[in-house]
Structure 1
C-alpha cells in the first residue's frame, strides 16, 4: 500500500517569525490580501502585529473580522464577497482554527466557483485555492497546516468536513509571541485539542512510522508544557513548545486521520455550537476509558 504525506511547502516557527511574511508575499508578486480574523483579535490589537508587517512592506489589505467560533457558510459567503469587491489576489488567515477554516473556504470557492457546500467530502475541488498564508495565534487546531476545513452549515446544524489537498495553506506561521496573551481557558481547550489529534493519529489504522513519530513527540511536548502554558501564559518557552506540539500533532492527523472523539465532537459542535476544543476535552477521557 502507498501513502501520501501532506503539509505546507513552507512553515515558519519561533519568536518573531511573523516578520518573514513580507518577503514571502513580495517574492510571489502578490498585491492585496483579504485578512480573515475575528473581532476579538482586532479589538485587543493583535491583528496590528500582522498589519504592521504588511504596512512596512507596502502590501495592501482589507480585514474581514466576522468569523464565528464555529465558522459558517455565511462567513464564507460574506468573506468571498469582500474579497471580490476589493480585488484581493490572496488570503491571510490570522487566529486559531476558526479564521483558518473560514479563510480556506473563501480561498477554495474563489478559485473553484460554486458554493462551499459543493466541496463537502474528500478532494472535491478541481483547482488550487487562492494563495493562503495562515498565521496561528493558538496552539491546538493545526488548521494552519492541514488539508482539513470544517465549516458549519447553519441550515442543517452540521459541521461539514472538507478534506482536500487544495485547502492546504502555502505558508504556515507559528510565532509564540502571538500566543502570550491567550486566556487560560483557550490555552487549555486548544491544548487538549492538540493532545486529541496526537492520540487519535497514533492509534489510527492508517498510521505510518512518520505519523507515529510526530504523534509521540507531540504527546511528550504537551505533557511537559501545557500546564506551564495555562498557568503562566507569558512563559515563552512553554508557548513555543506548545506551538511545536500542535504542529507535530497536525502533521500526524493530517496524514493518519482522526477517530471517534472528533466524530462525536463535530456532531456536538455543529448542533449546539460548542467550542471544538472543549468538546474534545470532555469526550477524550471517556473514549479512552471505554476502549481501555
Structure 2
C-alpha cells in the first residue's frame, strides 16, 4: 500500500436528484460560449431525457450549442474524428458529454484530437498528453464506468479491433454530474452490465499494488452499496433509492480506480471488447471470478475483507476458506443479475487467446495487478473463462 500518493478527481462533482439543472449555470461560469454536446441517438431522441434537460438548462442560460449524436458502444477512432470535425465546423469552444462510458470516452478522445494531435493512438499509455483538453462537462446516465470523473480514455481501433487506453490527468472532466433520476429508464440488461463494471472497479483497486488508505475505504463502501442495491436496480429500475445507491457506488469506485488503478480483469476485458465488440461491463463480469481466483494467493487477507463487504459470514474460517467466499459471492452476484458464465456467450474464440494475452499484458491496467502472470498464464485464464460452466 502506498503511503505517499496523490489523489486525482475533477474539481467539481455534482451528485443527487435534479443536479442536471445546474449544467447551464456551471457552463456559463466556465465561460462556455458554444459547447459541442456528445451523445448517442437514443438519448438525443428521448423526450424529457438527459439531452433534452441539458439543452433546456443551456437555453435558459443563453448558451448556444451543437449536437453530435454519433456515439456508439466501444467508441471507435472514426467517432472521435467525426466529432472533432463537427466541433471545428461549428466553432465550438467546449464539450458536454451525455451518457455512459462510451459518451465520455468519445468526448475525451475528441478533446485529445483537438488539442494534442490527429493520431490518437500515439498517446496510448500513461501521461503522454502535453496539452490540456477543452473544458469538458460530463453528464453521467449509467452507474457503471466512472468515466465522468476519471483520467482514463478507452478507444477502439476499428481496423485492428484493439482497444487502447490513454491515461492522463489532462483527461479528467472539468465538472461531473451524477443525477440518479437520469438513470431510471436504463434497461435491466444495461443496468446489470454497468453495475458489474462498477463492482469490478471497486474490487480491482482494493487489491491493486497502487492502493492507498483513501481508495481502500472507497472500494469497500462501493462494494457494500452494490451488494445491497444492484439486484434491486435490475429488478425494479424505477426504485430511486437503489438507483441513488448505485450512482454513489459508481462514483466511489471511479474515484478509487482513478487513483489506485485496476488489474488483469480490465486488461483482459479490453481485449474481449475490442475483438468482439462486446459490452465492457459484461466482459469484466465474465472474467472477474476466474481472474480473482488466480490473484487470491497474492493477498488472501484482502479477499477476506472483500468477502465481509459482500456480506459473507467468515467467522471461524481459515484465511484461505474465508477468502474463497469472496470468489463465491462474486459469482453469485453475476448469476443473480443475469450475466452468462462463459466468454463463449460473447463469441470468444480460443484461436484468439494467444494474441489477446499478448495485448492484455501491454494494457495499462496490467501493471498494478497483485499477481504477475506470464503470457501463457493469461492464455489459460482466457481458456478457464471460456470453459466456465
- Would you say 1:14 and 2:16 are equivalent positions? yes
- Would you say 1:43 and 2:42 are equivalent positions? no
Question: As a proportion of its length, which structure holds more strand?
Answer: 1
Q: 2:276 is matched with which residue: 251, 269, 272?
A: 272
Q: Which has the higher contact order (CA 8 A, sep 6+)?
A: 1
Q: 2:32 is matched with which residue: 30, 33, 37?
A: 30
Secondary structure of the corresponding residue to residue 238 of structure 1: helix
Q: Residue 23 of structure 1: CA displacement? A: 1.3
CA contact 2:108–2:153 (8 Å) conserved in 1: yes
CA contact 2:24–2:59 (8 Å) conserved in 1: no
Q: Residue 109 of structure 1: CA displacement? A: 1.8
Secondary structure of the corresponding residue to residue 60 of structure 1: coil
CA contact 1:76–1:116 (8 Å) conserved in 2: no
Equivalent residue number for residue 267 of structure 2? 263
Secondary structure of the corresponding residue to residue 234 of structure 1: coil
Length-normalised TM-score, structure 1: 0.98
Equivalent residue number for residue 349 of structure 2? none
Work out the CA distance in 1 between the residues paired with 2:30 and 2:280.
34
Work out the CA distance in 1 between the residues paired with 2:228 and 2:276.
32
Following superposition of structure 1 onto structure 2, how do residues 63-74 of structure 1 map, counting pairs within 5 Å? 63-74=67-78
Equivalent residue number for residue 176 of structure 1? 180
Work out the CA distance in 2 between the residues paired with 1:161 and 1:287.
20
Work out the CA distance in 2 between the residues paired with 1:277 and 1:177.
21
Work out the CA distance in 1 between the residues paired with 2:53 and 2:233.
21
CA contact 2:40–2:103 (8 Å) conserved in 1: yes
Flag structure 2 segments of 5+ consecutive residues without an equivalent. Answer: 297-389
Secondary structure of the corresponding residue to residue 147 of structure 2: coil
Work out the CA distance in 2 between the residues paired with 1:156 and 1:6.
32
Length-normalised TM-score, structure 2: 0.74
Flag structure 1 segments of 5+ consecutive residues without an equivalent. Answer: none
CA deviations 1:171-217 (Å, max 9, x no partner) are 01000110000000000000000000000000001100001011011
- Would you say 1:108 and 2:116 are equivalent positions? no
Q: Residue 43 of structure 1: CA displacement? A: 2.4
Following superposition of structure 1 onto structure 2, how do residues 1-292 of structure 1 map, counting pairs within 5 Å? 2-45=4-47, 46=49, 47-292=51-296
Secondary structure of the corresponding residue to residue 207 of structure 1: coil
CA contact 2:46–2:52 (8 Å) conserved in 1: no
The structure with the larger Rg is 2
Task: Name the count of aligned residue pairs.
Answer: 292
CA contact 2:24–2:54 (8 Å) conserved in 1: no
CA deviations 1:133-156 (Å, max 9, x no partner) are 100000010000000000001122
